[in-house]
Amino acid sequence: MLYVPEDHSVDKPAMLVVMLHGAGGNARQGLGMLQDVAETEGFLLMTPESRAPSWDLIMGDYGQDVAFLDQALDQVFSRYAVDPERVVLAGFSDGASYALSLGIINGDLFKHIVAFSPGFAAPRDSHGAPRLFVSHGDKDGVLPVARCSRRIVPQLEAAGLEVRYHEFKGGHVVPPEIVGEAIDWLNAAGGR
């Protein structure tokens, strides 16, 4: 699914946020999480859907989801004005794990990565120097923060990546204030 703000113009390239859903989720969930903000902030919002119950890396290796993402991105880039410096890969839960893993590998395309409650990061290599925003609830019962983000973030920083980390009071959710903080972070980084 693709959401295009009402004021989008070919004369003014916009930020593109690619939002990946969690395991068992769908494209509508990613759209619902960010659509209002996309309209207010004026960015394009693409919410692809995994080919299986979760993203291919979580199921074993990269494959059909990467091919699908490539096709979807090609279509968006050919039809809409996208600022190549403001292409963001974001996700929630398994989608956040996939965003970190695939985004770091493709850091020359995805300059910014937003990971809401990731379980892991497993990039095989890295290209570019993407900036990262990671958030996680301190009471997450699905992907416990102690086993996930509290381990992931130091590893990413040790690899030389710039990470903004926010641990909030709550569970396996993305509170509106965390979405707002991520958008503010993107805007401050030239995302607007």
Q: Which domain holds residue 112?
A: 12-191
pLDDT at 57: 87
Classify residue 7: in a domain, yes or no.
no
Residue 136 lies in a domain: yes
72, 46 Cβ separation under 8 angstroms: yes
Q: Does a structural domain hold residue 2?
A: no
pLDDT averages per 10-residue partition of the chain, 192 residues: 91 95 88 92 95 86 93 96 96 96 96 97 87 98 98 96 97 97 90 43
Quote the pLDDT of residue 11: 85
Determine if the pTM surpasses 0.85.
yes
Give a yes or no: residue 5 inside a domain: no
- CA–CA gap between residue 192 and residue 180 (Å, rounded): 14
